[in-house]
Amino acid sequence: MNGLSTVFILVGLFLLGGVYSFWKQKIPRSVIILMAIASAMCLAAGVLRLEVWN
């Protein structure tokens, strides 16, 4: 696991926590969907950059 994949995974998890927090605060759904998409993209990028796949 290199540094950049770790950063992507941590940012993705941080954004996922933000999605949960915004959902509890009843923030508009469009903001939650946008943050969920960003979280999924960061997590996917981090997982795909793992050296397991090479």
Q: What is the mean pLDDT of residues 10-18?
A: 96
Asked if the model's pLDDT at residue 1 lies above 90, the reply is no
H helix count then E strand count, the chain: 2, 0
Q: What is the residue range of 25's domain? A: 1-46
DSSP symbol at 25:
T
Q: What is the mean pLDDT of residues 28-49?
A: 95
Asked if the model's pLDDT at residue 53 lies above 80, the reply is no
Any domain includes 19? yes
Above pLDDT 90, what percent of the chain? Answer: 83
Any domain includes 53? no
Any domain includes 23? yes
Listed in sequence order, the residues at least 6 apart from 49 whose beta carbon sits closer than 8 Å to its beta carbon are 2, 4, 5, 8
Distance spanning both ends of the chain, measured CA to CA: 12
Q: What is the mean pLDDT of residues 27-54?
A: 92
Q: Which of 18, 23, 4, 16 is nearest to 40 (CA)?
A: 16
pLDDT at position 9: 95
Say how many domains are in the chain.
Answer: 1
